[in-house]
């Protein structure tokens, strides 16, 4: 038995078992997220539920649970209920309905049931009654309605995309230019050396931009008229009629009559929309592209700041500083910083970065914009710097561990061959410690990407009208507020209807 323990085999089994359980836990978590999340986009069938009392509901079954007895919660109940997504929020006032299964008479799946995704008010469930063009009925036939919708919806989709392009990019650029010219005029008036010719030139520039705005506004008016050219009338399962513009439809389909290939194609379309489109309907519909983009840009800025500062600090502590009491105290402080709650860094950032540095920048470089703050408010730069402060201890500790692991004889050999201390560090020590440096950076990115609490008070918003990077000079706008994926998850889960 002694030989067995001395051989080291038990520790091999112990470490192997620990690795196995870790991998099982990771893959189980990934499987849970994938199975619950990826299935959300699959177009499930539409159920027509008829109750014993004659009431009818049309929608998609989204869940099932046991009905607990409120007087005895420990009693194992056999009664169940289903959660039905009935949509039609503008008619019913709610999206979901719980129905006791013992009250259900029949559940059928009609092939002619439509699911219409709309820009506003969520999904619409019903049966297409008629399609109109400028108040003229095109068809009331069910099969003909399907063919008409397949022709109409691509047209309205192209018009809607053109409208969004004009509103967001063309008119957005015009408004940005007008605001820039207005601030230049204000700055010229505030300066002592007033140039009348320059002032007239700027005012003329505003007039030119305003003329462009009027032209684009007229174009928008024409496009909106085209968008509302067609209307669709739907019958709900309880006999009500709802008429709305075809331009308000994102997509319309009949999941009960679709085969697996058609559903898979629609699934990929909805998944791509989720990754590439802007959110809508209080973040409950649409995509998460601005949140992904904002998170990536914030992490990139944070990485550019935290890596050099963290590595330089670790190099000084390990290679240059005299190892004594003071350096030991500094190391203890650095290690303790890693355990400070993130919200403390957020509060510090508000006082130091936003009100301190940001306020000073505004008073020196952006006088014409005052009292509206430019850098004296939350933005992606201050959020990135705050997270850099939050994660720099991680980089310092990881880098120091890597530097300490470099064999002393290698460094001494380099110095003996005539290399300077800087050359030794640059060409020998840092390449050897690079795995630890990258580990520290990865850990810093992982922590920064998941932080939400400090960001809530230093720049993250529910919906950002503009991205931090766009086509307007200076192209990268460090002062802008941004969306963050972690905050977006919190907002959708707990703050959105």
Work out the number of other CB atoms within 10 angstroms of the CB of residue 316. 13
- Reading the block at residue 45, the tokens are 């069938």
CATH ID of 42-125+249-273, from 2.30.30, 1.10.530, 1.10.10, 3.60.21:
2.30.30
Residue 73 has pLDDT above 60, yes or no: no
pLDDT in tens, 323-352: 889 989 999 999 898 889 999 999 999 999
Q: What is the pLDDT of residue 284?
A: 85
Query: pTM for the complete prediction?
Result: 0.88
Which pLDDT band holds residue 138 (cuts at 50, 70, 90)? Answer: confident
Q: What is the pLDDT of residue 159?
A: 94
**215-252 burial: b if 16+ Cβ within 10 Å, else e:** ebeeebeebeeebbbbbbbbebbeeeebebbbbbbbbb
Q: What is the pLDDT of residue 303?
A: 95
Which pLDDT band holds residue 141 (cuts at 50, 70, 90)? Answer: confident
Mean pLDDT on 209-238: 92
Measured distance CA(226)–CA(247) in Å, rounded = 9
371 cis-preceded (ω within 30 degrees of 0) = yes
Mean pLDDT on 237-248: 90
Average pLDDT, the chain: 90
Please list, in sequence order, all residues whose beta carbon lies within 8 angstroms of the beta carbon of residue 28, skipping any fewer than 6 positions away: none
Kindly list the domain boundaries of the chain, sorted by start residue: 42-125+249-273, 135-228, 289-495
Residue 235 has pLDDT above 80, yes or no: yes
Detail the DSSP E strand segments found in 13-161.
Answer: 47-51, 56-66, 80-85, 96-100, 104-108, 114-118, 123-133, 136-139
Which fold, 289-495?
A: MetI-like fold (1.10.3720)
Region of 239 (left: φ > 0; alpha: ψ -120 to 50; beta: rest) is left
Q: How far is CA 366 from CA 193, 354, 379, 486, in A?
A: 17, 14, 16, 32
pLDDT in tens, 428-449: 999 999 999 999 999 999 999 9
Question: Side-chain half-sphere of 494: how many Cα atoms within 13 Å?
Answer: 5
Which pLDDT band holds residue 74 (cuts at 50, 70, 90)? Answer: low
Measured distance CA(282)–CA(382) in Å, rounded = 26
CB 380 within 8 A of CB 421: no
Mean pLDDT on 477-488: 93
Instruction: Say how many Å lie between the first and final Cα of the chain, rounded.
Output: 64
Q: What is the pLDDT of residue 4?
A: 66
| Residue scoring higher pLDDT (8 or 129) | 129
CB 412 within 8 A of CB 282: no
Q: What is the pLDDT of residue 349?
A: 95
Residue 140 has pLDDT above 80, yes or no: no
Q: What is the pLDDT of residue 304?
A: 96
What percentage of residues in the chain have a pLDDT greater than 90? Answer: 61
Q: What is the pLDDT of residue 75?
A: 59
pLDDT in tens, 24-58: 999 999 999 888 888 889 999 999 999 999 899 99
Q: What is the pLDDT of residue 177?
A: 92
What percentage of residues in the chain have a pLDDT greater than 70? Answer: 96
- Classify residue 108 as exposed, middle or buried by CB count within 10 Å of its CB (0-12, 13-18, 19+): exposed
């Amino acid at each position: 038995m002694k030989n067995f323990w001395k051989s080291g085999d038990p520790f091999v089994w112990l470490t192997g078992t620990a690795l196995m359980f870790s991998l099982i836990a990771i893959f189980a978590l990934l499987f849970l997220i994938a199975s619950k999340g990826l299935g959300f986009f699959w177009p499930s069938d539409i159920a027509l539920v008829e109750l014993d009392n004659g009431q009818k509901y049309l929608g998609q079954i989204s869940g099932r649970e046991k009905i607990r007895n409120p007087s005895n919660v420990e009693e194992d109940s056999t009664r169940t209920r289903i959660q039905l997504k009935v949509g039609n929020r503008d008619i019913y006032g709610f999206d979901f309905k719980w129905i006791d299964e013992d009250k259900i008479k029949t559940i059928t799946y009609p092939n002619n049931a439509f699911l219409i995704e709309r820009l506003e008010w969520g999904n619409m469930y019903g049966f297409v009654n008629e399609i109109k063009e400028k108040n003229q009925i095109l068809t009331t036939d069910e099969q003909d309605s399907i063919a008409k919708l397949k022709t109409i919806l691509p047209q309205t989709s192209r018009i809607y995309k053109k409208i969004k392009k004009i509103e967001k990019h063309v008119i957005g650029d015009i408004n940005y230019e007008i605001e820039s010219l207005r601030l230049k005029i204000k700055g010229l008036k505030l300066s002592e050396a007033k140039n009348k010719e320059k002032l007239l030139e700027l005012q003329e520039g505003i007039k030119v931009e305003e003329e462009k705005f009027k032209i684009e506004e007229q174009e928008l008016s024409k496009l909106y008229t085209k968008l509302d050219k067609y209307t669709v009338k739907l019958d709900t399962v309880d006999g009500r009629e709802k008429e709305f513009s075809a331009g308000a439809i994102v997509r319309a389909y009949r999941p009960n009559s679709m085969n697996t290939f058609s559903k898979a194609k629609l699934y990929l379309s909805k998944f791509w929309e989720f990754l590439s489109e802007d959110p809508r309907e209080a973040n409950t519909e649409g995509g998460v592209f601005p949140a992904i983009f904002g998170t990536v840009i914030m992490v990139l800025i944070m990485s550019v700041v935290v890596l050099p500062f963290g590595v330089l600090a670790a190099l000084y502590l390990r290679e240059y500083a005299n190892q004594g009491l003071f350096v030991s105290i500094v190391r203890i402080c650095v290690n303790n910083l890693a355990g400070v709650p993130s919200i403390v860094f957020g509060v510090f950032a508000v006082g130091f970065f936003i009100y301190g540095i940001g306020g000073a920048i505004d008073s020196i470089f952006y006088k014409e914009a005052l009292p509206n703050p430019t850098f004296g408010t939350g933005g992606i730069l201050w959020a990135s710097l705050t997270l850099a402060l939050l994660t720099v201890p991680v980089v310092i500790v990881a880098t120091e561990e890597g530097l300490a692991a470099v064999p002393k004889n290698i460094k001494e050999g380099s110095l003996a061959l005539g290399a300077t201390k800087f050359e030794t560090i640059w060409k020998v020590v840092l390449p050897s410690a690079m795995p630890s440096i990258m580990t520290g950076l990865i850990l810093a990115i992982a922590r920064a990407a998941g932080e939400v609490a400090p960001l809530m008070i230093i720049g993250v918003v529910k919906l950002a009208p503009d991205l931090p990077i766009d086509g307007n000079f200076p192209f990268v706008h460090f002062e802008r507020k941004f969306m963050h994926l972690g905050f977006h998850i919190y907002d959708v889960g707990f703050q959105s209807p």
